[in-house]
Structures are given as structure tokens and as C-alpha cells.
Structure 1
């Protein structure tokens, strides 16, 4: 909320008892969030979250193997920060979620296109220079016929 004051967060959960409890409903209301519950008995409908957990476990939790709750909290916080602020996501055009949420998507794409065009031009110039140097160093040189 501090980073994005105008955003209304949405939380998507299964129908576990902790997510249908009165206290949780009150927390959602006080926090100003929207609660969306997936279809009962169909975890695939929460595929994005299932994928997030798989990525979290395989790239952060298991390799770090935290031995204390404080260590686990640090590993989790570091992963969440990396996932949201630095990791590029293919589903949103290879930008970080924080950039999309902040409305920086168009500026990032413009800058990316500018850099790609500059790289293409540099490659074109290098190819042209190499072609000229080859022609300059070996004018009218032909390859000998292949021997039988």
C-alpha cells in the first residue's frame, strides 16, 4: 500500500478454513483488500499461486534450508523482493511486476526498442567495416580451383 497508494490489493485463496474464518474476513475488510476464492476441489484454478510456490520452494527455500523461523522469514522476504522488483516475467513482457504496477511498462519498452535498434545498427556497421577491410586487403583474389 505504501508503494502503490491507489491500488486495491486482491488476494486469491483456496477455501481452507483459515481463509473462510471470521477473523480473516475482518482482516481483508480492514486492509481494504478484495478476497477471491477459487473453486472448491480445483487447485488448478489458482495456477499462478501454485506456480509461485513451486518457484519459491525450488529457488529459495530448499537451497537456503533455513534452520530458524527468522532465517525462513529473511529468505522469504528476500525472495518476494527479488520476485516482484527485479525478476523479469515473460507473461508481462519481460519486465518486473513492480514496474508494470507503477505504469513504467511503456517507457521500458521504448528504451528496450531504442537499445535493440542501436545494437542492430552497430552490428550493421561492423559487418560493413569487415566487408570493406576484406575487399581492401584481398582485391581481385580468387580461390584456386579444387584439386580432384
Structure 2
């Protein structure tokens, strides 16, 4: 069995054994052995006595934790703390108030149980998040639509300020003939980004449209399936939310025609489609709002290059810090 030696140890386990043998087996004095190994007399005496009593097995470090901890939180109390943390997501102060104990003690228990942070606990159920990943590319693709307000001519308010942004919207609405909202605000339209993510590789496919109708959604699915096929990936299942386009007979029939099994998430459970939700966040931060665009056409023109960068060059933490395209089991020429 391998044993680790702490960073500040003066002797390795092998050197301790040699020292112990010199004193016990060969009759050296502890002082002479200490001088030989450049340690104190007390250290040499300790390892010599340990060798005499325990042999070579005694040359390894021992835990400094006490053998008995009479003041340690009892297991039934620990179970109550864990229950309140998981099921009600309470903090140390609230848990301590409910159980009549110090919040510092509660925090120590949470740290020891590794639940002092809630990032790994599902907000809806309180259960630990069980992450999954399908084994092969194409086993499952995620589809969804990300809606973004279009960029007015001259730039949006995030970069020009609210007053100038409002004027830019008004001029753009006047140019395009877009109607005003019921609050008399100028409307310039919405960009619907139809996104597709392969569950195994995280490779993304994105199309921008002016609607999210079933006809558009089906067309995007056909294009995405063909795009993945060109890269050696056969799509078997597709996971969507419960939007109208994905509940339509057209979507069902198209999936049947393509040999794809359609799946839908549970209502009010966007976590089920969490991979594509996370991709949308990366998309908006890395492309949509990353820099100043003076028009919607300028922003859309930058989209293909960003998607290529994401697929082929951006390290992905879920893919071992490699670009997603490296997980596709194909093909010379496509990974450059």
C-alpha cells in the first residue's frame, strides 16, 4: 500500500527505515544516526523506537486527527443538517437557528459533507445534479430557439447609451415601417436563433431567422442533420422543449422521415435541456453582446465566424479542454 509523506518531512520512509536499522540492528547511538541523517536527536530516537516496535510498517506518517472526538456533531444531527441543506437549500445561519446550534458548527458539517456550495444541487428538486453525456456523436442532439432583439442602425443602447439607442431604434423602425408597441415604443423586430447542439461532442449548428414557426424549425432540423452527416455523424434522437413547433404533426412526421426519435423535456424543467441553455449563454456573451455592432446585418455577418471558432478552436471544459470538433469520429479535412 502506498503512503504519502508530508511536504515538510526531513526523512523519507526509506531513510527512516535505514536510520532505524542503524540504531536497532547495528547498535548505533541515536546521536550518531541523527548526525548521519542531519536530523535532531529526538527525531532519530523516535524513528528508531518506531522501527523497534512496529518494524518497516511503522516508517510512514500517521494522521494527526485524534482517535476520539467526543465533541463531534452526532450523526443524527448531521443527517438533519444535510436534509435541510438539500431539500430546503437553507444556509448555515438558518439551519443553526432551526436546530438550536452555532452556524459555524453547521458550516463545518456542510464542508465536511462537501455540500457547503449549492452549485451541484438542482433548484427545483433539491437533489444532487446527475450529469449525463451520450456515448457517441449523434446519439442525441438538443434543439432550441434563442430570441434576441435586433440591433438598430447606429448601434444598440448597450454601447451608445439609452437616449441614443432609443433614437436609433426610432429611425430604424421608421425606415423599415415596423409598428409601435402598445406603449408607443419603436419596434425593430426579433432575431430567432435556431440552435442545435450534439450532446456528446458539444458541436453547435446555428441558423438565424425571423420566426420560430414549425416550417422554419423543420427546415433547420433538415439542414442540421445534413450538416452533421457531412461530418460523419448520423442523428438518432432529438430533444426539444414543449414549444408549439416541436409539438406539431409536421415536426413528428419530419423526424419519422429522417429516422430520428423526437423527445421533449418535462414542462417547466429547462434543466433537462441544460447543455443548449449553457450554449446560449456562451453565444450571447461571446458573440451577440461581445462588441459594438452598428446594425443587425453586421452582427449576423459575424455569426458564422464565431460558430466556427466555437466548434474548431475554443477549448471546451466538458470536452477535456479541447475544441468540440475533435470529438467527432470522422474525417480528414473537417477538423481544421
- Rounded to whole Å, the distance in 1 between the matches of 2:256 and 2:299 is 28
Deviation at 1:25, TM superposition (A): 2.2
Go from structure 1 to structure 2 and tell me whether the alpha carbon gap of 1:33 and 1:85 turns closer, same or farther (over 3 Å shift).
farther
**Which one has the bigger helix percentage?**
1
Deviation at 1:9, TM superposition (A): 5.3
2:236/2:260 contact within 8 Å kept: yes
Go from structure 1 to structure 2 and tell me whether the alpha carbon gap of 1:26 and 1:73 turns closer, same or farther (over 3 Å shift).
farther
1:8/1:34 contact within 8 Å kept: no
Q: 1:27 aligns with which of 234, 254, 258?
A: 254
Q: Does 2:277 correspond to 1:53? A: no
**Deviation by residue 1:123-146 (Cα, 9 ceiling, x = unmatched):** xxxxxxxxxxxxxxxxxxxxxxxx
**Deviation by residue 1:14-50 (Cα, 9 ceiling, x = unmatched):** 1111111122223333344343211111111211111
Deviation at 1:71, TM superposition (A): 4.1
Go from structure 1 to structure 2 and tell me whether the alpha carbon gap of 1:66 and 1:12 turns closer, same or farther (over 3 Å shift).
farther
Q: 2:320 aligns with which of 79, 82, 93?
A: 93
1:61/1:75 contact within 8 Å kept: no
- Rounded to whole Å, the distance in 2 between the matches of 1:12 and 1:71 is 31
Q: Does 2:303 correspond to 1:67? A: no
Deviation at 1:101, TM superposition (A): 1.4
**Which one has the bigger strand percentage?**
2
2:239/2:273 contact within 8 Å kept: yes
Deviation at 1:66, TM superposition (A): 6.8
Equivalences for residues 1-148 of structure 1 within 5 A = 1-4=229-232, 6-8=233-235, 10-64=237-291, 65=293, 67-68=295-296, 70-102=297-329
Stretches of structure 2 lacking an aligned partner (at least 5 in a row):
1-228, 332-336
**Which entry has the higher C-alpha Rg, 1 or 2?**
2
1:10/1:33 contact within 8 Å kept: yes
1:13/1:36 contact within 8 Å kept: yes
- Rounded to whole Å, the distance in 2 between the matches of 1:33 and 1:25 is 9
Alignment coverage as a number of residue pairs:
102
Go from structure 1 to structure 2 and tell me whether the alpha carbon gap of 1:95 and 1:34 turns closer, same or farther (over 3 Å shift).
farther
